[in-house]
Amino acid sequence: MPTGITEQAVTEFSRLSSMERLNSVALALTRNGFQAQAVETGAEARQIVAALLPEGAEVFNNTSRTLESIGVADDIERSGHYEPLRLRLFQMDREMQAREMRVLAASPEYVVGSVHAVTEDGSLLIASASGSQLGPLVSGAAHVILVIGGQKVVTDLDAGIRRIYEYSLQLEDQRAREAYGMPSGVNNILIMNKVVVPDRVWAILVHETLGF
Amino acid sequence: MSLFDYDTRPATPGVVLVDTGTSPEAYRIRDFLSRNGHHFEWVDVADANRLRSVLGDTDIDLSSLPICILPDGTRLSPATLEQVAAGLGMVTGPARSAYDLTIVGAGPAGLAAAVYAASEGLHTLVLEAIAPGGQAGTTSMIENYLGFPNGISGSELATRAVAQARRFGAEILLARSLTGVSAEGPGYRAALSDGSSVVGRTMLLASGVEWRRLDVPGVDELLGAGVYYGAGPSEALGCAGSQVLIVGGGNSAGQAAVRFSRYAHRVTLLVRGANLASSMSKYLVDVISGIANIEVRTHTQVVELRAEDRLREVLVRSLTTQDTSSLRADALFICIGGEPRTDAVADAGLMIDSAGYVQTGGELGTLVELDESWNLPRPPLPLETNLPGLFAAGDVRRGSTKRCAAAVGEGSMSVALVHQRLSEIGSE
C-alpha cells in the first residue's frame, strides 16, 4: 500500500460489498436512469461488455486498472473486433493533428471505463487528473459502459469524495509515478446522479475487488 | 508532455522494435507500422538501460537486427516487414474466390471506389501493398479538401475511408501486392505477392505513383539511414532538434516542410525551380513563408551525400552560379514527384504512354485504331483501359489531375462504369 494511505481508509474503502448490497445499488442506479446489473465475476462482466459492443464499433477504453485486470482492455485493443480509438490517438501527430485528436477523443461512439465510487442511492463519482475522460462520460460518447469493482460502494456522496482523496488517489498516484514519472491529482471530479438519455449508460457491478 | 501522451497510452503491450536506426529494413517496418496506425516502441540499440529492460542481459549480435518483439512475446530476429505484418495478424486471405470488382491500391481513388462499389452491393476487394492512404496518406495536413474547413491529415482521411468501406462490406487486404494480371473469362485474375490469386469480374487499377528516385550517388545505400522517400510520419518525432533537408517544390514537399518544422531545429527546402509559386498551392506557400525555421533555397540541386554511419552532409549546387556548398543534414526527405506504379500489369497488354501512365477512354483512339486486345463493338468507356472491364483511376492514369479530390472523383465515377460493364457481361 502507498505510504499516504491510512489503515482506516483501507478498512473503510477496500471492503468488498455483499452481493445483496450490490443488487440493491444496481436497483438504485436503475431508478436513476442507468442500465445496471450486478454480477459475480469479472469474467461475467467481460462477457457483458463484449455483448454490448457491436462488431467494428469505435471504442475508447479509459485508463483503468479494472478493465486491464479482467481482460476488457485487451479485448478492445487487441481482439480485432473493434476500432480501438486509444491506439489510433496514440499514433497521431501531436503537433499536426492536435485538433483532430481533440475531436476524436471528445466524442467516441463507445467509451468503456470505471468509477471511483458508487453510492448506495445510485450516484457515480469519477475523478480525473487531466479531465479528458470526463466529457465523453457526461455527453460526448454515444454509449458509456462502466465496470465497477464491488469494493467501491459507499454510503453517500461525502463518503464517495473521501474515498477518492483518501484511498483512490493514493493508489492512482503511485501508479502514475511508476507509469508516467509524474504525480496524479484530483483535479476534476464528475458526479453522475441521473441519466436522461435512456440506455446510454451501463453500470456493471462486480462482486470482486477490481481497480482503485 | 501532451495530455494525450498519457491519456491515450495503450493499456496493452505493443510492438517493440530494436535497431541501430540506420537499417533500411527497420525503416520499412517503422514506416509500415506507422502508416497502418499500429503503435510501436522503437528502442535504440545504443540505449543500454532500455535495451536491458526489453531484452534482458543478453548480448546483441548486430547481424540479428532489427529485433521485433510482438505483443504476444514472439521475438523476430532479424525481423522482416512481412514477418511482422503476418505476426500481427494483418495479413489475411480473401473471403471469396471471386469478386465483382477487384481494386488495386487503397489510396484516395481506390478507397472511394471501394466505398461506392460496396455501398451499391458489389462484392468488392481492395489489394494494398503497404498501407491505406496512398501518397495522400502521408500528407500531414490537407487544407483544401472539400468539407474540412480546418483541414484534415491524409492519414485521418484514409482511416475514415477504410472504416467507411469496411462498414459497407468491402474487404481490404494489407501487405499484399499485385504481381500480375491475366484475363479469366470476361474478368481478370490478380496474382498476389504471397502466391495466391483472386478473380474479379472487373478490375480497377488505382495503384498510384511511387516517389521518383533521386539520381545522386549514395542515396540507395543511405535509405533508412537519414535518407527517406516521402515524408514518413514515423520519422517526425525522431527529427526533434535536428537539421532536416527536403528535396522538391511540390505540395508534398511543402507539407513535409510544415510537418518537420514543428519538430526540427531547421528545415531547408531544396527547389530546382525559380520559386515555389509555380509548383505549390498558394495557401501552402503562404504557410511556409510564415514559419521562421523553414528556409527555401531555389535554383538548387543535390549533387552528393556524405555519410559516416548515417547521413551527415548534403552537397548542393546553385543552378544560377554553379557554386557548390555543403549543408549539415540529419535527415533528407525526397519528395520530387511520382512515377506511375504499373510494374505488375506490364505483361497484361495495357496501353501505357511513354512516361508509364495508363491510357484510358478516348485517349486510346477510335475503334479502328484499337488493336486486337479490344474485342467489343463499342469504344472504351471513360476510365476504361484497352482491356475491357479493366479500369484505371487516380494518379496512375494518364491525364489525371494530381489532387486527392480528383482521385476520389475518379474512383467514385469508375463504379458507375463498372456497373455498365457488369451489365454487359451479365452472368458470364
**pTM summary value:** 0.82
Nearest CA in chain B to A66: B11
Does any domain span residue B188?
Answer: yes
Residues A21-48 have pLDDT tens digits of: 999 999 999 999 999 999 999 999 999 9
Task: Average the pLDDT over each of A136-150, B2-16, B240-254 and give the range with the smallest value.
Answer: B2-16
Does any domain span residue B215?
Answer: no
Q: Specify whether B276 is located in the same domain as B242.
A: yes
SS3 state of residue B322: coil
d(CA B108, CA B400): 13
Q: Where are the alpha helices (DSSP H) in B203-298?
A: 251-261, 282-289
Q: Specify whether B138 is located in the same domain as B177.
A: yes
Domain harbouring B228, CATH code: 3.50.50.60
Ranges of each domain in chain A: 7-206
Residues B146-173 have pLDDT tens digits of: 998 888 888 889 989 998 999 999 999 9
Q: Specify whether B330 is located in the same domain as B361.
A: no
Query: A159-174 burial string, b = 16+ CB within 10 Å, else e?
Result: bbbebbebbbbbbbbb
Q: How many domains does chain B have?
A: 3
Which of B71, B141, B236 has the CB atom closest to A78's CB atom?
Answer: B71
**Count of CA atoms in the C-beta half-sphere (13 A) of A175:** 15
Task: Average the pLDDT over each of A89-98, A107-116, A155-164, B337-346 and give the range with the smallest value.
Answer: A89-98
Domain termination residue (choose one: B297, B319, B334): B334
- Using CB atoms and an 8 Å cut-off, which of residues 77-116 of chain A contact chain B? 77-78, 80, 83, 86-97, 99-101, 105
Residue B265 has pLDDT above 90, yes or no: yes
B46 touches A: beta carbon within 8 Å? no
Domain harbouring B58, CATH code: 3.40.30.10
Q: Which residues of B touch A176 (CB under 8 A)?
A: 6
Which of B1, B163, B233 has the CB atom closest to A93's CB atom?
Answer: B233
Q: Which residues of B touch A57 (CB under 8 A)?
A: none
Output the DSSP codes for B89-117. Answer: T-----S-SEEEEEEE--SHHHHHHHHHH
**Contact between A100 and B153 using a beta-carbon 8 Å cutoff:** yes
The residue written with cell numbers 491505406 in the block is B132
Does any domain span residue B92?
Answer: no
Q: Please count the residue pairs, one from chain A and one from chain B, whose beta carbons lie less than 8 angstroms apart.
A: 93
Q: Specify whether B329 is located in the same domain as B288.
A: yes
d(CA A72, CA A77): 9
Residue B1 has pLDDT above 50, yes or no: no
Contact B64, A71 (CB under 8 A): no
Looking only at the bridges linking them, the beta strands covering B243-247 and B266-270 are parallel
What's residue B63's pLDDT?
Answer: 81
Q: Specify whether B198 is located in the same domain as B121.
A: yes
d(CA A15, CA B243): 58
**Contact between A180 and B159 using a beta-carbon 8 Å cutoff:** no
**Contact between A97 and B38 using a beta-carbon 8 Å cutoff:** no
Domain termination residue (choose one: B53, B87, B121): B87
Q: Which residues of A touch B71 (CB under 8 A)?
A: 78
**Domain that residue B243 falls in:** 220-334
Nearest CA in chain A to B89: A80
Does any domain span residue B382?
Answer: yes
Q: Specify whether B325 is located in the same domain as B238.
A: yes
Contact A1, A154 (CB under 8 A): no
Q: Which residues of B touch A132 (CB under 8 A)?
A: 3-4, 7
Contact A190, A137 (CB under 8 A): yes
Question: To the nearest whole angstrom, how far is the Cα of B35 from the nearest Cα of chain A?
Answer: 9
Residue B50 has pLDDT above 60, yes or no: yes
Q: Which residues of A touch B7 (CB under 8 A)?
A: 63, 105, 130, 132-133
Does any domain span residue B63?
Answer: yes
Q: Which residues of B touch A77 (CB under 8 A)?
A: 10-12
SS3 state of residue B257: helix
Does any domain span residue B293?
Answer: yes
What's residue B4's pLDDT?
Answer: 52
Does any domain span residue B116?
Answer: yes
Q: Specify whether B292 is located in the same domain as B387.
A: no
Residues B175-220 have pLDDT tens digits of: 888 999 999 999 999 999 888 999 999 999 999 999 999 999 889 8
CATH superfamily of A7-206: NagB/RpiA/CoA transferase-like (3.40.50.10420)
Does any domain span residue B41?
Answer: yes
Q: Specify whether B344 is located in the same domain as B255.
A: no
**Contact between B153 and A96 using a beta-carbon 8 Å cutoff:** yes
Is ipTM beyond 0.95? no
d(CA B359, CA B322): 39
A56 touches B: beta carbon within 8 Å? yes
Q: How many CB atoms sit inside 10 A of residue B383's CB?
A: 24
